[in-house]
Amino acid sequence: MSRLSVAFIVAVSAIALTQVALAADMPLKAPITKAPIAAPPYDWSGFYIGGHVGYLWGRTRVEEDGVVTEPGAPTDGVIGGVLAGYNWQNGPVVFGLEGDFGWTHAHGVGAVNFITTQAPNTYDLNWTSHLRGRAGYALDNWLFYVAGGLAVADLDFHEGAITTVVGGKYFGWSIGGGAEFAFTRNLVGRIEYLYDDYGHKDYIGVTGDPYRVSLTGQTVRGALAWKFAPTGMMP
Quick one: pLDDT band at residue 67, thresholds 50, 70, 90?
confident
Q: What's the rounded Cα separation, in Å, for the pair 193 and 218?
A: 7
Q: How many residues are listed for the chain in this entry?
A: 235
- Write out the DSSP string of 6-70: HHHHHHHHHHHHHHHHHHHHSPPPPPP-PPPPPPPPP---EEEEEEEEEEEEEEEEEEETTEEEE
Residue 184 lies in a domain: yes
Residue 39 lies in a domain: no
Of the candidates 81, 173, 190, which has an alpha carbon nearest to the alpha carbon of residue 127? Answer: 81
Weakest-pLDDT range from 40-44, 118-122, 148-152, 169-173: 118-122
* 199 CB-side CA count, 13 A: 14
Q: What's the rounded Cα separation, in Å, for the pair 88 and 28?
A: 52
Residue 12 lies in a domain: no
The pTM score is: 0.77
Q: pLDDT digit string (tens) for 188-216?
A: 999 999 999 999 998 887 677 788 899 99
Residue 153 lies in a domain: yes
Q: Residue 15: is its pLDDT beyond 70?
A: no
Residue 109 lies in a domain: yes
24 phi/psi in degrees, rounded to 5: -70, -30
Q: Residue 48: is its pLDDT beyond 90?
A: yes
Structural domain total, the chain: 1
Residue 28 lies in a domain: no
CATH number of the domain to which 180 belongs: 2.40.160.20
Q: Which domain holds residue 209?
A: 46-227
**Cβ contact 100:129 at 8 Å:** yes
Whole-angstrom distance between the N-terminal and C-terminal Cα of the chain? 75
Q: pLDDT digit string (tens) for 97-154?
A: 999 999 999 999 887 664 554 678 889 999 999 999 999 999 999 999 999 999 999 9
Quick one: pLDDT band at residue 9, thresholds 50, 70, 90?
very low
Mean pLDDT of all residues in the chain? 83
Of the candidates 171, 168, 133, which has an alpha carbon nearest to the alpha carbon of residue 152? Answer: 171
Q: Residue 12: is its pLDDT beyond 50?
A: no
Residue 61 lies in a domain: yes
| CB within 8 Å of 138: residues ≥ 6 apart | 41, 42, 44, 89, 92, 93, 94
Quick one: pLDDT band at residue 164, thresholds 50, 70, 90?
low
User: What are 223's strand-pairing partners?
Assistant: 52, 190
Residue 117 lies in a domain: yes
**Cβ contact 76:104 at 8 Å:** no
